[in-house]
Amino acid sequence: MNTTKTIQSALISVFSKDGLEPIVRILHEQNVTLYSTGGTEDFIKNLGIPVVAVEDVTSYPSILGGRVKTLHPKIFGGILNRQDNETDVQQMEEFQIPQIDLVIVDLYPFEKTVASGASETDIIEKIDIGGISLIRAAAKNFKDTVIVASVNEYSLLLDLISTQNGATTLENRRLLATKAFHVSSHYDTAIFNYFNTDETIYKQSIADGEILRYGENPHQKGFFFGDFDAMFQKLHGKELSYNNLLDVDAAVNLILEFKNEAPTFAILKHNNACGIATRNSMKEAYLAALACDPTSAFGGVLIANQKIDTATATEINALFCEVVIAPSYDAEAISILSEKKNRIILIQHEVDLPQKQVRTCLNGLLVQDKNNITDNKEHLKTVTLTAPTSEQIEDLLFASKICKNTKSNTIVLAKNKTLVASGTGQTSRVDALKQAIEKAATFGFDLNGSVMASDAFFPFPDCVEIAKEAGITAVIQPGGSIKDALSIEYCNENKVAMVFTGTRHFKH
């Protein structure tokens, strides 16, 4: 059977006319009969090209304020009829239904209208009925009908009708139908999420995905679904990898904890901070962060909460790093950082981040609210006889922010608003603390007067005992263990200050 079909008639009804003119002109040159409605009809007429009004086919005007224009058997019959079905052919002739071989339609801009903050009345009017019905009908009948449901497919259609003289293959039509169902399903998901208040129902649709070089490892395929360009302006460097993106995500979430604070610089490796410090200048913050663990900093992701100036960029340039992120840069800083060919330089824009976190699990998904609690002074409850000093409170909160953004089980040690060391991803909290202490010693840090943060409570007093022996003088933890009294008692006997936050910060 010959599955190639030549377009002889087309229904065109679009909200946006951008890019439509060359298609209309070539269809006219190929003697295709054009049907249209409203503004699209006027657009075609203004090109000096004949067009048949849908009203002349249906004998019904556009009614109900334009809500009903194409919803008629003579339109949908023309789209949905099966050309190899004898009964369909007879009914087309009996009811004088014109054949429609091509449908070009787009949808009212529902998502943009919601994002604009429009009233609910305006939003409801942007729920397309006729357009979505035309898309589904034409896509369903792809064996006979061509559907173009987005301006994104105009170039594909133009290429097909130009090079194939108005003919399309079954494969062409199936591809366009697939794209059309993508448009319709994405649109319906956006509408559902606007109305939905039931958190036990989860629907997500992202219109465009980016193919990455590979996933976590070269033998794995990798894709990114999201609007990277809305969040970052890439100034320089190679394409970001799957692992780069995970580290950038971790970096963004960590530095968000320090958004309105003094100059803060963080260095991350494998989603965890290996260095972070707050200082009076960005250069000082960077050098202090680098000193935390210069070995791990090699090949890391760097992020600043304020502008990166020339002095800071000069220091950074001596380090091999994958990515540098900041809200802005001095012009000379960009020039310096660009000296390394593959170094990725990003300007971070302020955008709303998703408030739901999603990950695959077993044969489904896990969805949770984002952890938006950042421990602050109001959350702290001193539970020991020794109260922390104001300087210790600042360090405790600094350490807590890092702890929240570090893989569990974790212990974070800090001093003078500098990460001294952390124990990350350990199977016991004692191991995490011992790892942190050993790491601090490796890089010559004096732990006397430092503070300790834990992402969850201490079931036994062993951690505070080890901490006191190492020179740690203040502890922040959520509390909540049935044996909290044991840790509190030890701290009281040894004049260690301890505060509870009441909030656990596991990060698995």
Cα–Cα distance measured from residue 278 to residue 398, given in angstroms and rounded to the nearest whole number:
9
Strands 321-326 and 344-348: parallel
Cβ contact 149:184 at 8 Å? yes
Cα–Cα distance measured from residue 72 to residue 122, given in angstroms and rounded to the nearest whole number:
25
Residue type, 414: A
Cβ contact 397:375 at 8 Å? yes
Q: Is the bond leading into 409 cis (omega within 30 degrees of zero)?
A: yes
Task: Give one DSSP letter per residue of 301-321, joined into a string.
Answer: EEEESS-B-HHHHHHHTTS-E
Active site residues: 140, 270
Cα–Cα distance measured from residue 17 to residue 133, given in angstroms and rounded to the nearest whole number:
20
Residue 73 CB contacts under 8 Å (≥ 6 apart), including other chains: 95, 97
Residue in the structure block whose two tokens are 């802005």 = 328
Helix and strand numbers, DSSP H then E, in the chain? 20, 23
Q: CB neighbours (10 Å) of residue 425?
A: 18
429-442 vs 462-470: helix axis angle to the nearest 10? 10
Both tokens assigned to 243 = 């692992």
